[in-house]
Amino acid sequence: MAGTSGSGGQGGSGGNGGWLSGNGGDGGTGGAGAVNNGGNGGAGGNAGLLSGNGGDGGTGGYGNNNGGSGGAGGNAGWLAGDGGNGGTGGVGGTTNGGSGGDGGSGAWFSGNGGAGGAGGQGIANGGDGGAGGNAGHFFGSGGAGGGGGIGLSGNGGAGGNGGNAGLIGDGGNGGNGGGGYISGGNGGNGGNASMIGNGGNGGNGGTGHWTGTGGAGGSGGKLVGQPGFAGARARATTNSVDQ
């Protein structure tokens, strides 16, 4: 609901899954702030102990001043399941966009990390993208980082870093930096692989449309395991993009 004055209320958190198995509930959307700031999105609920996926984080509310942040994704359980995705940051009507929420972690034995939420657009500066969640210990890929929001009169938001993989799996890609009227946001770094898999690609730097510079490309993730295992080192991207 939109507030008649002041700031919007925060979205509620999603409920946790059942003790044995079950998915976490999604977080609620932050309320709009007609005068001041948008409310933050609620966090996604955590999954049950053995199996289930974490709930997604809620979207940040629109703010006449600053947009609300997106909620974090819920974490998966112990045996199998994926982390929830982070919520998108809210739009900032006169100032800054809200940050995207971080993705939840995959289940300890096997599971993928959730993706980070995108940063919200800001009339001044764009919000930063959320980080991708880490995968489980043995199997799973890291979540992708969220893209930075566009800064319509200021700077673009930075892309979020990709999550790290388990022993077998790929690192998540870094998010692209948002374009800015002045300077573009930096791209996020790619997540690391462990034993078998590839490091994630670094995100592209955002375009600086007026007086500033383009954002730097993020670094590619590394293969950090023992020699003799398959895997490849990813390279950072260098192209500038409009997010």
- If asked whether residues 30 and 122 sit together in one domain, one would say no
Q: Going by C-beta distance under 8 Å and a sequence separation of 6 or more, which residues neighbour residue 161?
A: 131, 132, 145, 174, 175, 188, 189, 190, 191, 218
Q: Is the dihedral of CA 230, 189, 152, 102 positive or negative?
A: positive
Residue 17 has pLDDT above 70, yes or no: yes
- If asked whether residues 242 and 159 sit together in one domain, one would say yes
- If asked whether residues 160 and 225 sit together in one domain, one would say yes
pLDDT at 233: 31
- If asked whether residues 32 and 102 sit together in one domain, one would say no
DSSP label at 228? Answer: T
- If asked whether residues 18 and 108 sit together in one domain, one would say no
Give the model confidence (pLDDT) of 118-161 as tens digits.
Answer: 999 999 999 999 999 999 999 999 999 999 999 999 999 999 99
Cα–Cα distance for residue pair 76/54, rounded to 1 Å: 5
- Structure-derived torsion over alpha carbons of residues 242, 221, 107, 81, reported in degrees to the nearest 10: 50
Give the model confidence (pLDDT) of 81-120 as tens digits.
Answer: 999 999 999 999 999 999 999 999 999 999 999 999 999 9
Residue 228 has pLDDT above 60, yes or no: no
- If asked whether residues 107 and 196 sit together in one domain, one would say yes
Cα–Cα distance for residue pair 237/221, rounded to 1 Å: 11
Q: Could you give the number of structural domains in the chain?
A: 2
Cα–Cα distance for residue pair 116/87, rounded to 1 Å: 7
Cα–Cα distance for residue pair 112/121, rounded to 1 Å: 28
- If asked whether residues 206 and 114 sit together in one domain, one would say yes
Cα–Cα distance for residue pair 156/32, rounded to 1 Å: 22
- If asked whether residues 25 and 116 sit together in one domain, one would say no
Q: Is residue 63 part of a domain?
A: no
The closest alpha carbon to 57, from 31, 25, 16, belongs to 25
User: Residue 21: phi, psi to the nearest 5?
Assistant: -155, 160
Residue 20 has pLDDT above 70, yes or no: yes
- If asked whether residues 1 and 100 sit together in one domain, one would say no
Cα–Cα distance for residue pair 2/35, rounded to 1 Å: 10
Contact between 131 and 103 (Cβ < 8 Å): yes
Which residues span the domain enclosing 4? 1-40
Q: Kindly state the average pLDDT of the residues 194-205.
A: 92
Q: Is residue 146 part of a domain?
A: yes
Contact between 121 and 91 (Cβ < 8 Å): yes
Please give the structure tokens belonging to residue 60.
């940040």
Q: Is residue 52 part of a domain?
A: no
Give the model confidence (pLDDT) of 35-92 as tens digits.
Answer: 999 999 999 999 998 899 999 999 999 999 999 999 999 999 999 999 999 999 999 9
Split at pLDDT 50, 70, 90, the class of 11 is confident
- If asked whether residues 20 and 104 sit together in one domain, one would say no
- If asked whether residues 110 and 17 sit together in one domain, one would say no
Q: Is residue 5 part of a domain?
A: yes
**Is 18 buried (19+), middle (13-18) or exposed (0-12) by CB count in 10 A?**
middle
